[in-house]
């Protein structure tokens, strides 16, 4: 599907344009929001809120530019805000996991045994839960949305060095958490 | 060895943890609709780079643009406004090419001295059985280029378009072709919407332009008499409350086509102190000679070239009138509009010697600018430590403000209604920061009025019986106030789909039409009851599910998955028809859908229609052989009938709403369906099966009414009414007697009816 037509229709007040966008992007958006917020209800609220904001501002969106990065960036930001609020309410647990993020992804990318693969996925998910929302966001942007550090810098209007720093901080935090697990085991 | 990317791994994690696909379509649609109906203060956000704002402010100081030299314009449907000062050229004939099952038809091409416009349609984007991978893979988002005979290439831009489940149309604009250039080539590097695959093959479509024939359909643009547009009442001078005057509104032209009227006008400021940002569509009204408000829809795809200006001093407007009106003097009123004012206000903020990411400073700085009092509540250093975000407290009539630090370069900034900020290019500066307010977007109150004589049109045939619905906002309100008991003949069992709190996932519910005996049958939707009322089939994220109402036993239908939906039990109870597809993404998304029939126990599944269209099963005929179904297309949905034994297909009629649901009356003479009225208002119609004798049953705008379903005796229609004064999150049900127009609210029942036995 092409979002340009959907946005054009939306700009004309045709709500079916929103239907097109929702159908196309909601799955990835909900998963993105869920990975950051780790709560399905919050993720739904985040995506719903983001779509509503998009609708309210659609007339200013340049439909010749790709919609997906713009939209997912909004989802990420809204999810981060939601996760930050939640963070204050629910203290992080200090559970631990094995491996580094890269190692986990490397293993998960090639493991053939389904049981082992499922276990690795569980470990990655648990490891993500130990990160701060900001760190999780950086990991999601880099490894899930496949944004380059340059893109992350451009999308967030921050210096590339800052992205690299954030990414390294997230990786280091993970490594620390994972190291604890390794020592424990 | 199996290889997965990190993205795939994380995606699987999220999918597994979430458990199932979540479809927010209905809740988002509802949110949007509520947002529209609340008519709350409009808080529009315009992301505005500081440099653009500054440039605009400078532009405001330039004297007015010289009056344009008189040019002759005309309107061509689908091509827009063309200049007729020199001969027009048009596409010699439509050109069709096929790429596998996908068809690309270049339907129209027009060249005037300013531009080349191309209209083309793509259909069967997804081949039979091909996955719609749009949600999981990268897809082409390029529009074609236009190659000239010398090899040079013209880049186009999108003017407008349309899309449906299996295709789309595109209206593109390119620079004007040179006068001698009549043979050009449309080059598709890839086909928009198709997955980007390694074996992608670019393709070309040769186009031939010829001088426009004399009988080309071209509508003249008619100048209205010297505008009687007026400046806003009471806006002649600076007002005490900060309103800024000096805007005039006029309607200058109109185009009268065979089926609609397009009005062109403009808002012009005579002031150098602000520029016009936009006028909300909800703030614009047209009242005809009878005093009735006529539905308008703003059209961003056509602009009067003589009204358009880039200096911010004028705002070109175009509105379409699709419905009926009383011929004679009409008045267009704009209640208010939004303007951008340059502002000059400064405050200093000292972050101290060692500011930390995430650190917040309470400011509560009150700024006076352009007659408004603005509050800067606090400022936070972003998590990256190189940008600031300010929390704002703005008065009702201010939509947003822009802040900057003129002493240090920034990546960019933004305007915001509740918060705004910027990021530094060279890192966070040391020492106190001088923050400058550069612009305010504020409401300018009207009203502005302009009059015109609405001409008689070929479609202007007011017909009371066709425009007056049974269920209107007034009749609904009246019915709510005068509650009546359910007529004795209204009986039976309903299956409903309703998103239930707290998760708002759809559940299948069973209830008596009186509202009693409401039972939650579980997660799922689109339930259909067997004729003997002993079994229910419904869709879930795991596939179709059979439920024995007697024992409560559930049985998944083998071989079905989340892409299978809309199951319908045949009248003889022997078979179940359902829709399969699209192959990926939520049901109703992009991609093809086929019709599948199976035995009532789920065995012997057979595809009966799989033709690269987006088909959707709607209703069985009583012979349990014929089925009514819809096909999504460029102009909405086509209603068709297929004989499941012979495969013979018959066209019934067209509906202008692509997602229309269609219910068949028990005597099989009438269909009930959702359609769109001008202005994108939801309506419920009934008609004969060839589309004749349409009757408007529901038009309760701004209340949305959808999902009609016939009572077993065919005397009543039950439908879902989104009345937020009753329930914010769920539609309530209404009964409408088609013959008498009697309306009975059923507020105890909520959701959408998918079966009534």
The predicted-structure confidence for B214-260, as pLDDT tens digits, reads as follows 888 889 898 887 644 444 443 433 333 323 468 888 898 999 888 78
Q: Is A5 on the interface with B (CB under 8 A)?
A: yes
Separation of alpha carbons B449 and B229, rounded Å: 6
Separation of alpha carbons B64 and B198, rounded Å: 54
**DSSP letters for B581-638:** --SSSSTTSSS-BEEEEEETTS-S-EEEE-SSSBEEEEEE-TTSSEEEEEEEETTEEE
Return the higher-pLDDT residue of B168 and A163. B168
Contact state of A162 with B11 under an 8 Å Cβ cutoff: no
| The pLDDT value given to residue A63 | 64
Q: Which residues pair with B329 in a beta bridge?
A: B453
Q: How many residues does chain A have?
A: 185
Cβ contacts of A30 on chain B, cutoff 8 Å: 18, 22, 24
Return the higher-pLDDT residue of B530 and B252. B530
| The pLDDT value given to residue B38 | 43
Helical segments of B204-317, H only: none
| Pairing assessment for the beta strands B419-424 and B387-393 based on DSSP bridges | antiparallel
pLDDT value at B499 more than 60: yes
Return averaged pLDDT per consecutive 10 residues of chain A, 185 residues in all.
66 69 84 89 86 74 70 85 65 39 72 80 81 79 75 56 56 49 32
| The pLDDT value given to residue B48 | 25
Angle between the N-to-C axes of helices A40-57 and B25-38, in degrees from 0 to 180, rounded to the nearest 10: 50
| The pLDDT value given to residue B606 | 96
Cβ contacts of A121 on chain B, cutoff 8 Å: 9, 12-13, 16
- Asked if residue B632 lies in contact with residue B658, where contact means CB atoms within 8 angstroms, the answer is yes
Q: What percent of chain B has pLDDT over 90?
A: 42
| The pLDDT value given to residue B484 | 83
Q: Find the mean pLDDT for residues B99-116.
A: 91
- In terms of Cα–Cα distance, which of B195, B416, B24 is closest to A75? B24
CA distance, residue B430 to nearest chain A CA (Å): 17
Contact state of B141 with A2 under an 8 Å Cβ cutoff: yes
Q: Find the mean pLDDT for residues B171-181.
A: 91
Q: What is the mean pLDDT of chain B?
A: 82
B359-385 residue pLDDT tens = 899 999 999 988 899 999 999 887 678
Does the N-terminal peptide bond of residue B447 adopt cis geometry, omega within 30 degrees of 0? yes
Separation of alpha carbons B605 and B607, rounded Å: 7
| The pLDDT value given to residue B529 | 97
Q: Is B278 on the interface with A (CB under 8 A)?
A: yes
Angle between the N-to-C axes of helices A114-129 and A101-110, in degrees from 0 to 180, rounded to the nearest 10: 160
pLDDT value at B753 more than 70: yes
Question: Which of B102-116, B157-171, B200-214 has the least mean pLDDT?
Answer: B157-171
| The pLDDT value given to residue A178 | 44
Cβ contacts of B387 on chain A, cutoff 8 Å: 157-158
| The pLDDT value given to residue B367 | 92
B258-270 residue pLDDT tens = 878 899 998 888 7
Q: Tokens 């400064």 belong to which residue?
A: B346
Helix, strand, coil shares of chain B, percent, nearest 5, are 5, 50, 45
Contact state of A59 with B278 under an 8 Å Cβ cutoff: yes
Q: CB-based contacts of B75: which residues, under 8 Å, 6+ apart? A: B81, B82, B218, B219, B220, B221, B255, B257, B262, B302
Phi-psi region of B286 (alpha: psi -120 to 50; beta: other; left: phi over 0): beta
Return the higher-pLDDT residue of B338 and B535. B535
Q: Please state the φ and ψ torsions of residue A6, each to the nearest 5 degrees.
A: -60, -45
Contact state of A5 with B47 under an 8 Å Cβ cutoff: no
- In terms of Cα–Cα distance, which of B122, B192, B120, B117 is closest to B156? B117
For residue B220, count CB atoms less than 10 angstroms from its CB and return exposed for 0-12, middle for 13-18, buried for 19 or more: middle
Q: Tokens 């209107």 belong to which residue?
A: B472
Q: pLDDT band for B133, please (50, 70, 90 cuts).
A: very low
Complex confidence, ipTM: 0.80
Q: How far is CA B465 from CA B328, B468, B618, B680, B713, in A?
A: 22, 6, 28, 20, 25
| The pLDDT value given to residue B243 | 34
| The pLDDT value given to residue A65 | 64
Q: pLDDT band for B63, please (50, 70, 90 cuts).
A: very low
Cβ contacts of B657 on chain A, cutoff 8 Å: 16
Q: pLDDT band for B621, please (50, 70, 90 cuts).
A: very high
Most A-contacting residue of B1, B4, B15, B28 (CB-CB within 10 A), to test interface: B28
SS3 assignment for B136-159: CCCECCCCCEEECCCCCEECCEEE
Q: Is B196 on the interface with A (CB under 8 A)?
A: no
- Asked if residue B647 lies in contact with residue B637, where contact means CB atoms within 8 angstroms, the answer is no
Helical segments of B427-494, H only: 464-467, 473-481
| The pLDDT value given to residue A102 | 63
DSSP A142: I
| Pairing assessment for the beta strands B543-548 and B554-556 based on DSSP bridges | antiparallel
Question: Which of A102-106, B415-419, B461-465, B632-636 has the least mean pLDDT?
Answer: B461-465
Edge-first strand listing for the sheet containing B505-512:
B519-523, B505-512, B493-500, B752-756
Q: Find the mean pLDDT for residues B602-623.
A: 93
Separation of alpha carbons B585 and B643, rounded Å: 29
Contact state of A13 with B298 under an 8 Å Cβ cutoff: yes
Q: Find the mean pLDDT for residues B480-491.
A: 90
Residue in A with minimal Cα distance to B502: A41
| The pLDDT value given to residue B596 | 97
Contact state of A47 with B24 under an 8 Å Cβ cutoff: yes
Cβ contacts of B31 on chain A, cutoff 8 Å: 48, 51-52
B711-740 residue pLDDT tens = 999 999 999 998 878 887 788 999 999 899
Contact state of B43 with A9 under an 8 Å Cβ cutoff: no
Q: Tokens 């458990």 belong to which residue?
A: B19
| The pLDDT value given to residue A165 | 53
Separation of alpha carbons B730 and B498, rounded Å: 7
Contact state of A35 with B502 under an 8 Å Cβ cutoff: no
pLDDT value at B115 more than 80: yes
- Asked if residue A26 lies in contact with residue B586, where contact means CB atoms within 8 angstroms, the answer is yes
Q: Which two tokens stand for residue B132?
A: 């719609």
DSSP A141: I
Question: Which of B317-321, B412-416, B562-566 has the least mean pLDDT?
Answer: B412-416
Return the higher-pLDDT residue of B657 and A105. B657
Question: Across the interface, which of B1, B161, B386 has its CB nearest the CB of A5?
Answer: B161
Q: Which residues pair with B626 in a beta bridge?
A: B643
pLDDT value at B600 more than 50: yes
Cβ contacts of B43 on chain A, cutoff 8 Å: 56
Return the higher-pLDDT residue of B332 and B69. B332
Separation of alpha carbons A179 and A100, rounded Å: 8
Q: Judged by CB atoms within 8 Å, which residues 453-492 of B form the interface with A?
A: none
Residue in A with minimal Cα distance to B39: A56
Most B-contacting residue of A20, A45, A132, A157 (CB-CB within 10 A), to test interface: A157
Cβ contacts of A16 on chain B, cutoff 8 Å: 657-659, 680
HSE-CB at B246 with a 13 A cutoff on CA atoms is 16
B149-167 residue pLDDT tens = 999 999 988 777 777 778 8
């Amino acid at each position: 599907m092409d979002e340009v037509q959907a946005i054009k229709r939306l700009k004309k007040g045709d709500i079916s344009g929103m239907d097109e966008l929702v159908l196309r992007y909601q799955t990835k958006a909900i998963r993105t929001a869920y990975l950051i917020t780790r709560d399905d209800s919050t993720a739904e609220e985040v995506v719903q809120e983001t779509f509503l904001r998009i609708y309210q501002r659609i007339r200013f969106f340049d439909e010749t530019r790709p919609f997906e990065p713009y939209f997912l960036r909004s989802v990420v930001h809204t999810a981060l805000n939601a996760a930050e609020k939640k963070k204050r309410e629910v203290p992080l647990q200090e559970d631990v996991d094995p491996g580094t993020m890269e190692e986990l992804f490397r293993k998960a990318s090639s493991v053939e045994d389904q049981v082992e693969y499922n276990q690795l996925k569980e470990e990655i998910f648990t490891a993500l839960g130990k990160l701060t929302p900001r760190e999780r966001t950086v990991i999601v942007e880099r490894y899930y949305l496949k944004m380059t550090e340059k893109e992350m810098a451009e999308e967030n209007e921050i210096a590339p060095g800052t992205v690299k720093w954030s990414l390294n901080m997230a990786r280091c935090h993970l490594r620390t958490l994972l190291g604890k697990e390794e020592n424990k085991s | 060895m199996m290889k997965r990317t990190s993205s795939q791994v994380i995606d699987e994690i999220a999918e597994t943890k979430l458990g199932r696909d979540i479809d927010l379509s209905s809740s988002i649609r509802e949110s949007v609709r509520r947002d529209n109906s609340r008519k709350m203060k409009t808080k529009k956000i315009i992301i505005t780079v500081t440099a653009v704002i500054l440039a605009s402010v400078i532009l405001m100081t330039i004297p007015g643009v010289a009056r344009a030299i008189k040019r002759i314009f005309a309107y061509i449907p689908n091509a827009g406004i063309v200049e007729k000062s020199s001969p027009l050229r048009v596409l010699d004939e439509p050109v069709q090419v096929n790429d596998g099952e996908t068809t690309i038809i270049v339907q129209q091409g027009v060249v005037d001295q300013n531009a080349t416009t191309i209209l083309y349609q793509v259909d069967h984007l997804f081949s039979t059985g091909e996955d719609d991978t749009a949600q999981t893979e990268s897809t082409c988002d390029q529009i074609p280029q236009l190659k000239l005979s010398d090899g040079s290439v013209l880049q186009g831009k999108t003017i407008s378009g349309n899309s449906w489940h299996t295709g789309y149309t595109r209206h593109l604009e390119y620079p004007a072709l040179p006068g001698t250039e009549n043979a050009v080539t449309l080059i598709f590097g890839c086909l928009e919407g198709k997955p980007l695959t390694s074996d992608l093959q670019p393709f070309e479509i040769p186009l031939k332009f010829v001088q426009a024939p004399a009988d080309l359909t071209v509508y003249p643009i008619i100048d209205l008499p010297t505008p009687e547009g007026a400046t806003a009442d009471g806006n002649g001078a600076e007002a005490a409350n900060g309103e800024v005057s000096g805007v005039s509104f006029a309607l200058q032209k109109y185009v009268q086509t065979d089926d609609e009227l397009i009005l062109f006008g403009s808002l012009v400021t005579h002031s150098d102190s602000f520029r016009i940002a936009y006028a909300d569509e909800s703030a614009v009204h047209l009242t005809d000679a009878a005093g009735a408000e006529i539905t308008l829809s703003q059209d961003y795809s056509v602009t009067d070239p003589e009204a358009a200006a880039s200096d911010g001093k004028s705002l070109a407007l175009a509105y379409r009138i699709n419905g009926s009106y009383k011929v004679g003097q009409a008045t267009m009123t704009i209640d208010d509009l939004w303007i951008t004012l340059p502002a000059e206000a400064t405050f200093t903020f000292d972050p101290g010697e060692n500011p930390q990411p995430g650190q917040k400073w309470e400011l509560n700085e009150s700024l006076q600018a352009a007659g408004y009092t603005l509050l800067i509540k606090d400022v936070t250093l972003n998590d990256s430590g190189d940008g600031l975000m300010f929390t704002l407290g703005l008065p009702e009539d201010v939509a947003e403000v822009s802040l900057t630090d003129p002493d240090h370069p920034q990546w960019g900034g933004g305007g915001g209604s509740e918060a705004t900020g910027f990021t530094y290019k060279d890192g966070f500066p040391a020492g106190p920061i001088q923050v400058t307010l550069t612009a305010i977007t504020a409401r300018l109150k009207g009203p502005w009025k302009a009059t015109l004589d609405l001409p008689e049109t070929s479609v202007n045939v007011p017909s009371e019986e066709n425009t007056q619905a049974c269920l209107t906002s007034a009749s609904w309100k009246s019915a709510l106030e005068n509650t009546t008991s359910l007529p004795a003949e209204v009986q039976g069992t309903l299956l409903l789909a309703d998103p239930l709190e707290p998760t708002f996932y759809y559940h299948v519910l069973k209830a008596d039409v009186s509202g009693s005996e409401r039972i939650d049958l579980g997660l799922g939707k689109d339930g259909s009851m067997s004729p003997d009322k002993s079994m229910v089939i419904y869709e879930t994220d795991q596939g179709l599910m059979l439920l024995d109402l007697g024992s409560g036993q559930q049985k998944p239908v083998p071989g079905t998955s989340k892409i299978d939906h809309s199951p319908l039990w045949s009248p003889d109870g022997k078979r179940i028809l359902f829709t399969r597809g699209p192959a990926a993404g939520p049901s109703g998304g992009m991609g093809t859908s086929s019709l599948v029939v199976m035995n009532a126990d789920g065995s012997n599944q057979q595809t009966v229609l799989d033709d690269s269209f987006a088909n959707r099963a709607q209703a069985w005929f009583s012979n349990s052989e014929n089925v009514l179904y819809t096909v999504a297309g460029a102009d909405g949905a086509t209603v068709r009938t297929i004989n499941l034994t012979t495969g013979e297909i018959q066209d019934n009629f067209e509906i202008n709403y692509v997602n229309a649901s269609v219910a068949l009356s028990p005597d099989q003479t009438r269909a009930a369906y959702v359609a769109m009225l001008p202005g994108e208002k939801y309506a419920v119609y009934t008609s004969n099966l060839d589309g004749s004798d349409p009757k408007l049953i529901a038009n309760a705008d701004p209340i949305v009414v959808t999902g009609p379903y016939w009572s077993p005796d065919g005397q009543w229609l039950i439908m879902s009414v989104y009345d937020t004064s009753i329930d914010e999150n769920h539609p309530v049900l209404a009964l409408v007697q088609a013959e008498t127009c009697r309306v009975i609210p059923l507020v105890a029942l909520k959701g959408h009816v998918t079966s009534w036995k």
